[in-house]
Amino acid sequence: MAPMKTAAVTTPATTTTTTTPVTTTALLQNVQSTLSKSLDTSLNVIGKQLQTLGVNLPQDQQEKLSMAVGLTGVGATLYILNKICSKIMRMLTLPKPSFAKKDYDVVIVGGGIGGCALGSALSKAGKNVLVLERDMSEPDRIIGELLQPGGVQHLKDLGLGHCLEGIDAARVFGYQVFYGDEQVNLPYPADSNSKVGEKVEGRSFHYGRFIMNLRRACEQDGAKILERTVVSLIEKTPGLIEGVQYKEGDATVEATGNIVVVCNGAGSSYTRQVRSDKVGSGNKPLVVSQFIGLELAASADKLPRPNHGNVFLLPDAPCLLYPNSTTTVRCLIDFPDGDANKLPKRGEEMAKYLLEYIMPHLPENLHESFKAEVDAGRIKVVQNREMPGETPESLTKKGVVLIGDAMNCRHPITGGGMTVTFSDCKELVKAIVQIKDLNCVSEVDEAIQSFYVNRSKVASTINILANALYSIFAPPSGSKSWEAYKSEGKKPDALSNNDSMSIMRRAVFGYFKKGGICQTGPLSLLSGIWHSPYGLIAHFFSVAVIGSVDLIKEGGILGIFGSIYKSLKMITGATTLIAPLIAEERLLSCIFPGFIWRRKPLPHHQK
């Protein structure tokens, strides 16, 4: 970047010393008159073309239409020129690598979901890979437990399907959603490869058991895994990452690699080092809520719908219950505030929150095991973060690539994180195996950029769906209702709320109940087997439109004005919710430019 900056600074300085203000004005007038002449000519040409096409409009309207067409053309030309310029700039600013031979082709920071899957796949592709993991013992964390059918398929494509064996994983067939007294079953859609109409299936398990299988597979496939904590990235030439430093006892050791993959989970400090903060919520994830997690013993067959994700749309936020083995059930209660200080304090207050405020909404036959966990104090809390994915523009260093939660996280409500990570591993392997010379910085850089572009279809679909669904299922008031209950003992009634998201929540539930494509479409997107951000946007707006029609029908003639008002509120709310999410994913960037539609954190979101 340095040479570029110098050029940009010296050029205007030279101009001011050699040119007088008069000549500058004359020059500007010249440029302006040339531009307006060419604009007039272009508008005339466009006008004539329109006439040839049979568009005969009055003169003033013809001019306006020509102007609109002309400006679109100018916009498109500027867009293409901008793309070409940034490509050239990127080539010109490539740092020069040191020519010392590297220790490894690829060094991976973190032996979690992404690090192990990538390490295994690259080793099988003949690459010399080092994986550094700070703790090789079996993790006991409540992340990554429900793998969607799309994720199961990606795992199989990576040759790691066997890692789901021998871990007491439960089969998952879809969802059951509860809203007030109503419920709806949402089965996963049919498997397009099955001739007898079998449905696709997910798997759910303990993260720790699955990780241990992945680590074993990664090592058996040829990667070297060391239990070491990475302490920094090596950047001797500014802008180029050429390896990592890790701790070995008291000593600091270096491992160099042609490509360094940062994959050490959400909140990684290396994300901030290699990525600019200009996109969406920036290079630091936004903590939008927290999960309070319990594991209910011997309860898998007591779930209202066994082998399904059971989702309860509670007044403040959703609560999820799903089997995380063939016998146990994971219960995740979303606390809709990212601030750890707002969370009920462990002990009496937490027990009051769980037993008085939450438990009455859950099925009675689960109360005993739920209460047993609360009484024993076996409660875990995890932060739920959101961070938009990397784009070729936001990565500021060469030789390094981010994957997994270190690069992109979405709310875990849809259990999409592992599916995105496995899909990213597949794309990254494809990009890396195509590199002919791993020492060539420009070739590596091109491959990394193509990875960021190619990953986006799968990732954007899952990201937008998860973040939009969470916003709809958790009203924007955060934890205010709980605070009111704590001080005044007043329970909230979300069913009568009339803010735009509560209306949308009723519309989403109504949409699911219609069945047919209103179920198979959203479930294909959620299960990760249909990768279409545009399909998602179409379903999203269908919810708002069909929901509005239902509202108007319900309201009847007498309530028509109230229904129209609510419908407009819902459609406006839906648009202001989805637009920043689309912008963050860099979709339809000409309609939703990221710099305008940057997502504004709510007061209860923590950065």
Residues lying near ligand FAD in the complex (CB under 6 A) are found at 109-115, 132-135, 142-147, 151, 229-230, 263-265, 291, 382, 384, 404-406, 412, 415-419, 421
What are the residues facing 261 on neighbouring strands?
108, 401
Nearer to ligand FAD by Cβ, of 146 and 503: the residue is 146
In whole angstroms, the minimum distance from the beta carbon of 146 to ligand FAD comes to 4
Rounded Cα distance, 181 and 183, in Å: 7
DSSP reduced 3-state for 309:
strand
The amino acid sitting at 48 is K
Nearer to ligand FAD by Cβ, of 384 and 502: the residue is 384
Nearer to ligand FAD by Cβ, of 34 and 229: the residue is 229
In whole angstroms, the minimum distance from the beta carbon of 419 to ligand FAD comes to 6
| Cβ 482 vs Cβ 354: under 8 Å | no
CA-based angle 539:545:551, to the nearest 5?
130
In whole angstroms, the minimum distance from the beta carbon of 515 to ligand FAD comes to 26
- DSSP 8-state class, residue 408: -
Nearer to ligand FAD by Cβ, of 230 and 472: the residue is 230
Nearer to ligand FAD by Cβ, of 134 and 486: the residue is 134
In whole angstroms, the minimum distance from the beta carbon of 48 to ligand FAD comes to 56
Nearer to ligand FAD by Cβ, of 387 and 494: the residue is 387
Rounded Cα distance, 521 and 542, in Å: 11
Nearer to ligand FAD by Cβ, of 264 and 463: the residue is 264
The amino acid sitting at 515 is G
- Taking CA atoms, 583 is separated from 84, 460, 590, in Å, by 22, 11, 9
In whole angstroms, the minimum distance from the beta carbon of 111 to ligand FAD comes to 5
Nearer to ligand FAD by Cβ, of 114 and 510: the residue is 114
Phi, psi (deg, nearest 5) at residue 574: -60, -40
In whole angstroms, the minimum distance from the beta carbon of 89 to ligand FAD comes to 31
Nearer to ligand FAD by Cβ, of 109 and 311: the residue is 109
Rounded Cα distance, 230 and 499, in Å: 47
* Unique residue bearing structure tokens 């572009």: 453
Rounded Cα distance, 535 and 524, in Å: 10
Give the H or E element holding residue 541: helix 533-555
| 592 CB-side CA count, 13 A | 19
Rounded Cα distance, 464 and 460, in Å: 6
Positive or negative, the Cα torsion across 271, 272, 278, 284?
positive
Crossing angle (nearest 10°) for helices 533-555 and 517-526: 140
Rounded Cα distance, 200 and 188, in Å: 6
Rounded Cα distance, 339 and 472, in Å: 20
In whole angstroms, the minimum distance from the beta carbon of 382 to ligand FAD comes to 4
Phi, psi (deg, nearest 5) at residue 422: -65, -35
| Cβ 103 vs Cβ 255: under 8 Å | yes
In whole angstroms, the minimum distance from the beta carbon of 205 to ligand FAD comes to 10
In whole angstroms, the minimum distance from the beta carbon of 139 to ligand FAD comes to 6
With CB atoms as reference, the residue minimizing the distance to ligand FAD is 112
In whole angstroms, the minimum distance from the beta carbon of 3 to ligand FAD comes to 33
Nearest to 394 by CA among 283, 284, 287: 283
Nearer to ligand FAD by Cβ, of 404 and 492: the residue is 404
In whole angstroms, the minimum distance from the beta carbon of 225 to ligand FAD comes to 11
Nearer to ligand FAD by Cβ, of 271 and 563: the residue is 271
